[in-house]
Structure 1
Amino acid sequence: MTTGSATYTVLTDGNGRTYRVGETPHDLLGRSRAWMMWLPWAAMFAVSSFEYGWGAVEETVERRYHWTLTDAFWLASIWAVFQAGVAFPAGRLREKGVFSARAAMLVGALCCGVSWFTLAHVGNLAVGFVGYSVLGGTGAGLVYATCINMVGKWYPEKRGARVGFVNGAFAYGVVPVIYVFSYVLDERNYSAVLDALGGYMLVAVAICGLFFRDPPKNWWPSEVDPLRWASGDHRAAARSLAKNPPAVRQFSPMEAIRSGMLPLMWGCMVIIGMVSLFGINFEVPFAKESHFGPFVAASAAGVLSVVNGTGRAVVGWASDLFGRRQTLTIVLVIAAVAQFGVLYAGNTHNLVLFMVAAFLTGFGSGAFYPLFATLVPDYFGENHNATNYGIVYSSKLVGGIGGGGLAASVVVAWGYTGAYLLAGGAALLAAAISLFLRQPGRGHGRTQGRPTPAVADGLGPALAG
């Protein structure tokens, strides 16, 4: 390799995985690859207000436009449908080279800004669905999918921890906004506050997106020997590979579906996605219903968001040590316990227990996202990861409806007691389903094959993918 005109070698291991080595981040970007971690983190931080701040703003929105609780949470539900639904087509277009990461981020920035501007000035519910739910969901989905995919590509040897770190910003970035919504926002300054939030999202995401650039397909950092890493010769890799062996081959989307594991992941994520969004959306209203007051309600939401975000980074690290599937099951059980805990604490007006339950809710409602994001390439390989994970993440299409609009209907019909009992039971069902996840093509107890010697498939100039 020579500076300014880097060459690369393509290596193949015993599982058929290829690695493009020889180019440094400076050859490809002109700067450290840390930029491709911090920029996605900043963009995810900026758009976090959509999902994790809605529970704090919905009451003011209802008063402002005379909407019902069900109206408000159907807005959130349709937002979640579009936020999740855009992941698959966006991933497919990126893999085909039709839609660049930069273009996805700029379109996402514009949609995010317009969504809050619409909610700030238009009281027509139908227009709100188009402006906030459709455009806002599409914009946030483009940002989310692009950022998660980006950091995974630039950190192939540290995927679990780095993806968890960036994913976490999608939750705890909302904390300042929650207190603004709870203490500053009222009908007099409503439009100004939401305009400021929309402008912040538009500018922050656009600036981050201008610097986004994918590495070449199958790129690995030049300082890491991917064959030694894949074989477990590296001590850290050996610990992770003992629990998380690489995919036996590269699965196309149809092959991943036919394996049965991709549909199982999808179904599991539908269920826990409903529970997650229910906990996020209704914790603040339930806290107020339990007479804890606005400060406690906002603090509970803040604790939920902070733990939700930091928990994603923690489980990424833990999954490297203990196994992604094992960690996923534990997270889902914690999510179930959290629902029952919030219900008991609210009904008994136990403030300390309510905050503890908010802590557990935050952890259980977000930590599963990076686990699924890393399970997909572990099970099906990296070559079609954007599409395969897009399919799994599309489960939020169903989960968003269940955790928002339908959940609001359940609260109206059965009260918070019935809704929280249903949510806790659903989380336990998701945990049971996760026990059946198995890596396709790798028999129970089968050991990981060691890679073959390096094979040079080609040399050429460094090109960004």
Structure 2
Amino acid sequence: MLTGLAVQLESLPLLYIGYGVVGGLGLGAGYVTPVSTIIAWFPDKRGLATGMAIMGFGFAAMLTGPIAQNLIAGIGLVPTMYVLGTAYLLIMLTAAQVIRKPRPGEVPAADIAKSVSLTGTAMTANQAVKTRSFRYLWLMFFINITCGIGLVAVASPMAQQQTGMSAATAAMMVGVVGLFNGFGRLAWATLSDLIGRPLTYTLIFTVDVAMLAGILVFSSPLLFGIALCLIMSCYGAGFSVIPAYLGDVFGTKQLGAIHGYVLTAWAVAGVVGPTLLSLSDQYFHSYTYSLIFFVALELVAFILSIRIRRQFSVVARDEKVTDSLERQH
């Protein structure tokens, strides 16, 4: 609503405050709070729970976009801002009434027992950010989002440039890519409940490396589209798997705050990814150099994912030895 007022008054500072500061704070709070809460309700199915919540976040943009366009065409930009702002206010205030942490006894003890962190401890946010594990996870998330958000921004022109795809076909491909982005959030997060978050992230970066390398050489529109869809599924997975991974590593004591710290990587990646691809096209008239750099980044993330897997494999092994010794005594 502040954005609509800013446009109506033609005030750039108010636009920065309304759309940038207030809108950004609201987006962050509205994103983190339900995710951290739903993990508390379903500690044994963290991946599935967060995957469904974050898939909804992704698909909401696909739903709201056409609605906003039709409203703008029908009643104008400023009234549309007021209508959407009022709708968001009413819907979110209503939904907020039922969002709460579970009371003692509402979550089965057996489910809680399955949800202990890999370290066996529950850290505060200030403790978590000082650990090597946090730095690894931040970098992995940053790399995943940098590559994904960069490709989202240039998917259509890149497809036309590299495969000769028509503008109409490229637009259709972008729509399909959006579906993979959304459903990938649920699919990968659900898989992480079955095989564990560490292995899931390693698989995500394996797919990313292979498909980014494929995009560099594929001239077939079909192969290019398949590769891009798989990359976008991994991009969506980065958002849905990371909250559960953070819960696994640091516990759920201050999961919302820890998740908020990690999401700073999203803000940085939102600038870095599109900028790299734009500069590559501007100066070299090709996306090749940026794609090569993205492959290198994904390889770094792949190595980090293996290192953190090994780190917690050692923790798990030590815990088994300790449990065995305690039973003997």
Once residues 75 and 216 of structure 2 are traced to their aligned partners in structure 1, the CA distance between those partners, rounded to angstroms, is: 34
Instruction: State the alpha-carbon separation in 1 of the partners of residues 223 and 82 from structure 2.
Output: 35
The change in CA–CA distance for 1:341 and 1:124 in structure 2 (over 3 A counts) is farther
- Partner residue of 2:179? 306
Q: 1:331 aligns with which of 204, 229, 234?
A: 204
Correspondence 1:260-275 to 2 at 5 A: 260-275=132-147
Q: Distance in 1 between matches of 2:156 and 2:6?
A: 20
Return the offset for 1:149.
2.1
Task: Say whether residues 1:225 and 2:108 are aligned partners.
Answer: yes
Comparing 416-425 with 198-207, greater Cα deviation is found at: 198-207
Aligned pairs for 1:69-80 (under 5 A) are none
Check the 8 A contact 2:276/2:290 in 1, yes or no: no
Provide the C-alpha distance between the structure 2 equivalents of 1:344 and 1:368, rounded to a whole number of angstroms.
Answer: 25
1:277 aligns with 2:149: yes
Distance 2:183 2:85 in 1: 22
> What displacement does 1:214 show?
4.2
Distance 2:299 2:85 in 1: 36
Q: Does 1:424 align with 2:306?
A: no
Q: CA deviation at 1:325?
A: 0.6
Query: What do the CA deviations read for 1:257-288 (whole angstroms, capped 9, x no partner)?
Result: 33321122112222222112102212133235
Relative to structure 1, is the Cα distance of residues 225 and 136 closer, same or farther in structure 2, using a 3 angstrom cutoff? closer
CA contact (8 A) 1:178 1:301 kept: no
SS at match of 1:173: helix
Deviation at 1:397, TM superposition (A): 2.9
* Contact 1:300 1:358 survives alignment (8 Å): no
Stretches of structure 2 lacking an aligned partner (at least 5 in a row): 324-329
CA distance, structure 2, for counterparts of residue 121 and residue 294 of structure 1: 34
Partners of 2:46 and 2:193 within 8 A in 1: no
Is the CA contact 1:259–1:440 (under 8 Å) kept in the aligned structure 2? Answer: no
Distance in 2 of aligned mates of 1:301 and 1:119: 32
Instruction: Give per-residue Cα distances to partners, 1:159-185, cap 9 Å, x unaligned.
Output: 21011111112223333566789xx78
Alignment match of 1:258 (pick from 120, 130, 148): 130
Distance 2:9 2:288 in 1: 34
Letter in 2 for 1:253: A
Distance 1:258 1:140, change over 3 A: closer
Residue 249 of structure 1: CA displacement? 1.3
Q: CA RMSD in A?
A: 3.5
Normalised to the residue count of structure 2, the TM-score between the two structures is 0.80
SS in 2 for 1:250: coil
**In structure 2, the residue corresponding to 1:405 is in which secondary structure?**
helix
1:22-75 CA-to-partner distances (Å, cap 9, x unmatched) read xxxxxxxxxxxxxxxxxxxxxxxxxxxxxxxxxxxxxxxxxxxxxxxxxxxxxx
* Corresponding residue for residue 364 of structure 1: 234
Cα deviation, residue 114, structure 1: 4.2
Secondary structure of the residue aligned to 2:129 is: helix
Cα distance in 1, alignment partners of residues 274 and 19 from structure 2: 15
Tell me what 1:400 maps to. 270
- Please state whether the residue corresponding to 1:367 is helix, strand or coil: helix
Alpha-carbon distance in 2 for matches of 1:391, 1:365? 19
Unmatched tracts of structure 1, length 5 or more: 1-112, 232-236, 451-465
Matched length: 317
C-alpha offsets along residues 193-227 of structure 1, whole Å, 9 cap, x if unaligned?
Answer: 786477336514641333314434x64663x531x
Determine helix, strand or coil for the equivalent of 2:318: coil
Shift of 1:398: 2.0
Q: C-alpha distance in 1, partners of 2:13/2:74?
A: 20
1:401-444: CA deviations, max 9, x gaps?
A: 21233442233223312222222221222111111115679635
Alignment-mate amino acid for residue 215 of structure 1 = R
Give distance in 2, aligned partners of 1:381 and 1:337: 33
1:146 aligns with 2:33: yes
The residue aligned with 1:456 is none
What is the rounded CA distance, in whole Å, between the counterparts of 2:31 and 2:213 in structure 1?
A: 30
Please state if 1:249 is matched with 2:121.
yes
Query: How big is the shift at 1:332?
Result: 1.7
Deviation at 1:120, TM superposition (A): 7.1
Task: State the Cα deviation string for residues 358-380 of structure 1 (Å, max 9, x = none).
Answer: 31122111102222111111111
Cα distance in 1 for residues equivalent to 2:289 and 2:225: 21
Change (3 A) 1:154 1:245: closer
Is the 8 Å Cα contact of residues 120 and 191 (structure 1) preserved in structure 2? Answer: no
User: Is the alpha carbon distance of 1:395 and 1:422 closer, same or farther for their aligned partners in structure 2, counting shifts above 3 Å?
Assistant: same
- Using structure 1 for the length normalisation, give the TM-score: 0.59
Q: How far, CA to CA, are the matches of 1:425 and 1:362 in structure 2?
A: 18
Between the aligned residues of both structures, percent identity stands at 20
Q: Deviations over 1:286-345 (max 9, x none)?
A: 235455334323322222221111111112221111110100111122223333334444
Residues 141-171 of structure 1 show CA distances to partners (whole Å, capped at 9, x for unaligned) of 2221223223223333322101111111222
Q: Which residue of 2 aligns with 1:209?
A: 93
